[in-house]
Amino acid sequence: MWLLLAFVAVPLIEIALFINVGGAIGLWPTLAIVLATGFLGTWLMRTQGMMALGNLQRSFAELNDPTEPLAHGAMILISGMMLLTPGFFTDAIGFSLLIPAVRSGVFHYLRRRVTVQSFSMGGSHTTHHPRTRPGDDVIDGEFSEVDSPDQSAGDPPRHPPLPPSGWTKH
Q: Domain-by-domain residue ranges, the chain?
A: 10-113
What pLDDT, on a 0 to 100 scale, did the predictor assign at position 104? Answer: 92
Running DSSP on this structure, what letter comes out for residue 156? P
pTM passes above 0.75 = no
Question: Count of alpha carbons within 13 Å of 7, Cβ hemisphere only?
Answer: 4
Q: How many CA atoms lie within 13 A of 140 on its CB side?
A: 5
Average pLDDT, consecutive stretches of 10 residues, N- to C-terminus, the chain (170 residues)? 88 92 92 89 84 86 84 89 88 90 92 76 53 62 68 59 63
